[in-house]
């Protein structure tokens, strides 16, 4: 007998590297957890950025006006025929309505400015309302339309930085030849003057620093480049000196130009924009943006400062004042943005909606489903259950797998060459889009179906064959029902992918601007249309800032559609799932 | 080299006759010139080590080898004098008259009722629902399962225990009223109690059917069969009444196998 404790060599061998084994497992689990956390984190960031970006687009500020549907304007020939009604001047009706709100506006330019409170396309909407109900002619009609996109953004607080306050003290507004003279006992004007002086001084310092930098750089260089720099530096210094001169040497009022914040003084329905601010805080001079007579007030007045200078924003002080006035009169109300869902695309963001793209997507997906699902499923069934396993079928299989990896734009080119050029199908139509997307989806459906069929146990096929079922009976009675959940999942993944596809549709012209939604019917398949992802692509490129929020909103609609699609897949899978 | 006594149980009519049956899978020969005569209304057991060709031969009898790519069957095989490899015989018709039970219970993922009713339905054996009900009940009764499942016919067949599932599968096979029932190691996935139940059932079914059973258990072969055939390396080595095979084997390979010297 030996003295060594009775430990078998396998035990010592195992316990020696046991710690390392567990550490490896721990590392792997930590890495997995970190990966999941990172994925979830990124998803949350993505979703919250889309949601916060898209939410403003779901509300809209609407302008409600009483329009006088004067018979002479609306029905020029007086016969109430559709032809006559279509020739009516509805834009004049709208213009008259807004003019009654601001009767003091008379000048041509001022009027044009006033009419930009809304887009002229609303005249067509008014016409449609009249065509639908000719009884409105001659009456006072309440007409609702969306406010111009920039003003809508302004009211949502997304366009400018502004503040307003109720000063203590008296205010007098006195029209004179040199504009309105604003006098006040409030200290706020002194504070504002000091603030603007500080801003100007900071600007001068910035110009000087830049000039010094340019001079320094010029010393390192030579030739025309250095000369140009020195010239720029000189220019900066002169501008700085100019600003300082305005502030230090001349103790007079500060001119408020377009590069400085706008100061609006409001009292009893009159608004004055200050053109100059007295440095002693006594007030300043300005011009009326609303109203036009003199005012004496104590405490019941306000100052509104729009910090974003005019040259850096898209709306003028005048439009802001009109919008605020309309809001105070209760003519503007914020409601759910029905235009986003009831309208097709439009050049004007406030009237643009996803309806056209949504219908286009639905029509396109119908074609895709009709073509890719049956063909894909039956192809897979044939290959998996009937086809002999030989070189030829192996070649086909390899090609199908490769097709799944072909860039989608290639399918678009194919669609353009075959469906449009060779077959002469209409451009931009859901029919062609659906055909192209079917080509793209087919490999996915076939691969998923084959995998699902392979997963059906061989014993089920044998059981069916052994009781005398034919091959087709075996497939349709037993194999296909068992594979159905897998096939459904695969098909829906393929279709969801197709629904989010943009590139191939660009090639077949579904990227065109289409202002009318296609009809949800047979004829809709050949009408020009666009689809959700293409609409998102188009809007993301839109020049107007209001398209930004609408892009995010359209993404949300597409996401909702996708989630609905996947929920349907899960529901169907649960229903068809059988356990064995 | 095959040592075959043509009819070990002379009093019974011959059901299945094989003459020089060969099977090859993708050129590799799995069965060499098997000739055998199997009597009706009795149990014939095929024994032998794994890969000896007994299951392959069994699958010839309902042409299940047709479903395997690259399988080639040669020779002559008749059931009731009719050549089953003949082009004029549809495998579907053949399989309806030659039922098969597999190693692992493989009920369809459907209700117990639908499992049994599937065969009669696709072959159009019942015109009305009561007729079908009767067929299902008879089949389940014959399989000795009726008492256990009569109150839950709409439960899934897969919810039964392993032994019950195997009896359900037997019920499914006999529901189409076949002439021959092939069983490929029907008890290898079952516990001894369920096995005993199946063996009992096989013994009962013997009165009406020609049963051919492949088994790895020599005790089982001894218990249930009247004839035994010993296969080795693709050859039928010895075939005769079960008693003779187990008590007095003529071939040394048979003797070595049944005494446990190899296999």
Interface of A with B in 117-136 (CB under 8 A): none
- Residue A74, domain member (yes or no): yes
Q: Are A463 and B176 a contacting pair at CB < 8 A?
A: no
For B93, name the nearest residue in chain A, comparing CA atoms only.
A468
- Candidates B100, B169, B178, partner chain A, best to mutate (most A CBs within 10 A): B100
Question: Looking at residue A6, what is its pLDDT?
Answer: 65
How far is the alpha carbon of B231 from chain A, nearest alpha carbon, in Å? Answer: 24
How far is the alpha carbon of B248 from chain A, nearest alpha carbon, in Å? Answer: 36
CA B182 from centroid of its chain's CA atoms: 1
| A129 and A242 fall within a common domain | no
Q: Are A470 and B92 a contacting pair at CB < 8 A?
A: yes
Q: Note whether A387 contacts B: Cβ–Cβ < 8 A.
A: no
**Rounded CA separation B233/B226 (Å):** 23
| A319 and A375 fall within a common domain | no
Residue that the structure tokens 């957890």 belong to: A33
A485: domain CATH number is 1.10.3720.10
Last residue of a domain, one of A297, A313, A329: A313
How far is the alpha carbon of B253 from chain A, nearest alpha carbon, in Å? Answer: 33
Extract the tokens encoding A269.
Answer: 């329905």
Using a CB-CB distance cutoff of 8 angstroms, which residues of chain A are in contact with residue B154? none
| A141 and A284 fall within a common domain | no
For A479, name the nearest residue in chain B, comparing CA atoms only.
B108
For A389, name the nearest residue in chain B, comparing CA atoms only.
B69
| A287 and A325 fall within a common domain | no
| A330 and A367 fall within a common domain | no
| A328 and A355 fall within a common domain | no
Q: Tell me the per-residue pLDDT of B224-246, one tens digit each, with 9 for 90 and over.
A: 999 999 999 999 999 999 999 99
Question: Looking at residue A204, what is its pLDDT?
Answer: 92
Question: Looking at residue B236, what is its pLDDT?
Answer: 92
| A364 and A450 fall within a common domain | yes
Q: Are A466 and B95 a contacting pair at CB < 8 A?
A: yes
- Residue A267, domain member (yes or no): yes
- Residue A14, domain member (yes or no): no
**Rounded CA separation B152/A497 (Å):** 44
Asked whether the predicted pLDDT for residue B6 surpasses 80, the reply is no
**Rounded CA separation B234/B227 (Å):** 19
| A150 and A73 fall within a common domain | yes
- Nearest CB partner across the interface for B118, out of A388, A467, A578: A467
The confidence band for A185, taking pLDDT boundaries of 50, 70 and 90, is confident
Q: Note whether A469 contacts B: Cβ–Cβ < 8 A.
A: yes
For B105, name the nearest residue in chain A, comparing CA atoms only.
A459
Question: Looking at residue A414, what is its pLDDT?
Answer: 92
| A298 and A201 fall within a common domain | yes
For A153-192, the three-class secondary structure string (H helix, E strand, C coil) is: HHHCCCCCCEEEECCCCEEEEEEECCEEEEEECCCHHHHH
| A325 and A442 fall within a common domain | no
For B168, name the nearest residue in chain A, comparing CA atoms only.
A463
CA B141 from centroid of its chain's CA atoms: 20
Q: Which domain covers residue A285, as residue numbers?
A: 162-313
- Residue A12, domain member (yes or no): no
The confidence band for B2, taking pLDDT boundaries of 50, 70 and 90, is very low
Sign of CA dihedral A137, A140, A141, A143: positive
* pTM over cut 0.90: no
- Nearest CB partner across the interface for B67, out of A465, A467, A578: A465
What top-level class would CATH report for the domain B14-258?
Answer: alpha beta
Q: What is the ipTM of this complex?
A: 0.89
Q: Are A430 and B53 in contact (CB under 8 A)?
A: no
Q: Are B108 and A478 a contacting pair at CB < 8 A?
A: yes
Last residue of a domain, one of A337, A369, A397: A337
Question: Looking at residue B5, what is its pLDDT?
Answer: 45
Using a CB-CB distance cutoff of 8 angstroms, which residues of chain B are in contact with residue A473? 122
Q: Note whether B26 contacts A: Cβ–Cβ < 8 A.
A: no
**Rounded CA separation B78/B71 (Å):** 19
Last residue of a domain, one of A304, A337, A370: A337
**Rounded CA separation A444/B18 (Å):** 48
Q: Tell me the per-residue pLDDT of A52-99, one tens digit each, with 9 for 90 and over.
A: 999 999 999 999 999 999 888 888 888 888 888 888 899 999 999 999
- The rounded percent of chain B whose pLDDT value lies above 70 is 95
- Nearest CB partner across the interface for B123, out of A468, A477, A482: A468
How far is the alpha carbon of A464 from chain B, nearest alpha carbon, in Å? Answer: 8
| A-B contacts at Cβ under 8 angstroms | 70
| A454 and A568 fall within a common domain | yes
- Nearest CB partner across the interface for B109, out of A389, A462, A579: A579
The count of domains in chain A is 3
Extract the tokens encoding A54.
Answer: 């898209």
| A416 and A562 fall within a common domain | yes
């Amino acid at each position: 007998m030996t003295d060594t404790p009775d430990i078998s060599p396998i035990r010592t061998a195992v316990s020696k590297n046991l710690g390392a084994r567990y550490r490896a497992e721990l590392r792997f689990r930590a890495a997995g957890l970190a990966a999941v956390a990172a994925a979830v984190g990124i998803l949350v960031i993505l979703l919250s950025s889309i949601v916060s970006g898209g939410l403003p687009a779901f509300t809209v500020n609407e302008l409600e006006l009483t329009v006088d549907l004067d018979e002479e304007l609306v029905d020029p020939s007086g016969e109430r025929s559709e032809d006559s009604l279509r020739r009516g001047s509805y834009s004049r009706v709208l213009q008259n309505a807004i003019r009654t709100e601001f009767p003091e506006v008379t000048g041509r330019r001022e009027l044009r400015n006033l009419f930009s409170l809304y887009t002229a396309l609303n005249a067509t909407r008014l016409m449609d309302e009249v065509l639908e109900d000719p009884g409105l002619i001659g009456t006072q009609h309440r007409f609702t339309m969306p406010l111009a996109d920039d003003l809508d953004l302004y009211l949502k607080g997304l366009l400018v930085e502004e503040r307003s306050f109720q000063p203590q003290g008296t205010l007098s507004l006195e029209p004179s030849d040199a504009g309105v003279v604003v006098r006040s006992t409030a200290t706020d004007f002194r504070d504002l003057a000091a603030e603007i002086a500080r801003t100007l001084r900071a600007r001068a310092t910035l110009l000087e620093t830049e000039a010094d930098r340019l001079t320094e750089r010029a010393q390192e260089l030579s030739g025309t480049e250095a000369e140009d720099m020195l010239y720029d530096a000189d220019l900066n210094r002169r501008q700085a000196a100019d600003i300082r001169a305005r502030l230090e040497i001349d103790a007079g009022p500060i001119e408020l130009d377009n590069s400085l914040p706008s100061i609006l003084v409001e009292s009893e329905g009159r608004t004055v924009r200050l053109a100059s601010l007295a440095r002693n805080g006594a007030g300043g001079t300005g011009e009326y943006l609303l109203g036009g007579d003199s005012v004496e007030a104590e405490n019941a007045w306000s100052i509104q400062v729009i910090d974003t200078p005019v040259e850096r924003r898209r709306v003028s002080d005048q439009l802001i004042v009109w919008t605020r006035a309309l809001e105070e009169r209760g003519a503007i109300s914020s409601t759910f943005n029905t235009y986003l869902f009831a309208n097709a695309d439009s050049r004007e963001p406030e009237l643009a909606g996803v309806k056209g793209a949504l219908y286009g997507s639905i029509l396109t997906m119908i074609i895709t489903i009709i073509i890719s699902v049956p063909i894909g499923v039956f192809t897979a069934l044939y290959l998996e259950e009937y086809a002999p396993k030989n070189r030829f079928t192996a070649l086909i299989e390899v090609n199908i797998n490769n097709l799944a990896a072909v860039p989608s734009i290639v399918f678009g080119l194919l669609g353009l060459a075959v469906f449009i050029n060779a077959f002469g199908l209409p451009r931009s139509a859901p029919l062609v889009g659906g055909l192209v997307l079917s080509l793209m989806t087919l490999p996915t459906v076939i691969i998923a179906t084959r995998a699902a069929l392979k997963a059906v146990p061989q014993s089920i096929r044998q059981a069916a064959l052994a009781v005398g079922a034919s091959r087709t009976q075996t497939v349709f009675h037993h194999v296909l029902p068992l594979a159905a959940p897998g096939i459904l999942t695969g098909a829906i993944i393929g279709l969801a992918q197709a629904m989010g596809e943009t590139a191939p549709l660009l090639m077949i012209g579904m990227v065109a601007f289409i202002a009318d939604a296609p009809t949800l019917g047979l004829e809709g398949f050949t009408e020009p249309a666009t689809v959700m992802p293409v609409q998102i692509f188009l809007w993301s490129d839109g020049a107007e800032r209001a398209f930004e929020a609408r892009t995010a909103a359209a993404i949300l609609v597409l996401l909702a559609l996708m989630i609905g699609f996947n929920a349907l897949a899960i529901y169907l899978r649960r229903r068809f799932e059988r356990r064995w | 080299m095959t040592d075959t006594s043509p009819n070990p149980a002379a009093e019974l009519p011959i059901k299945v006759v094989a003459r020089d049956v060969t099977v090859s899978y993708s050129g590799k020969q799995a069965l060499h010139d098997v000739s055998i005569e199997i009597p009706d209304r009795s149990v014939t057991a095929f024994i032998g080590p794994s890969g000896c060709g007994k299951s392959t031969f069994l699958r010839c009898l309902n042409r299940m080898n047709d479903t395997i790519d690259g399988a080639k069957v040669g020779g002559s095989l008749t059931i009731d004098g009719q050549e089953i490899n003949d082009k004029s015989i549809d495998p579907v018709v053949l399989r309806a008259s030659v039922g098969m039970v597999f190693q692992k219970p493989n009920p369809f993922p459907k209700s117990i009722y639908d499992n049994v009713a599937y065969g009669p339905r696709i072959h159009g054996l019942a015109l009305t629902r009561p007729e079908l009900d009767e067929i299902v009940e008879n089949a389940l009764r014959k399989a000795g399962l009726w008492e256990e499942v009569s109150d839950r016919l709409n439960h899934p067949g897969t919810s039964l225990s392993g032994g019950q599932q195997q009896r359900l599968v037997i019920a499914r096979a006999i529901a189409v009223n076949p002439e021959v029932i092939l069983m490929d190691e029907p008890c290898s996935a079952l516990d001894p109690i369920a096995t005993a139940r199946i063996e009992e059932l096989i013994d009962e079914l013997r009165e009406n059917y020609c049963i051919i059973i492949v088994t790895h258990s020599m005790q089982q072969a001894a218990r249930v069969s009247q004839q035994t055939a010993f296969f080795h390396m693709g050859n039928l080595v010895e075939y005769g009444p079960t008693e003779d095979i187990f008590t007095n084997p003529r071939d040394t390979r048979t003797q070595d196998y049944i005494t446990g010297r190899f296999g």
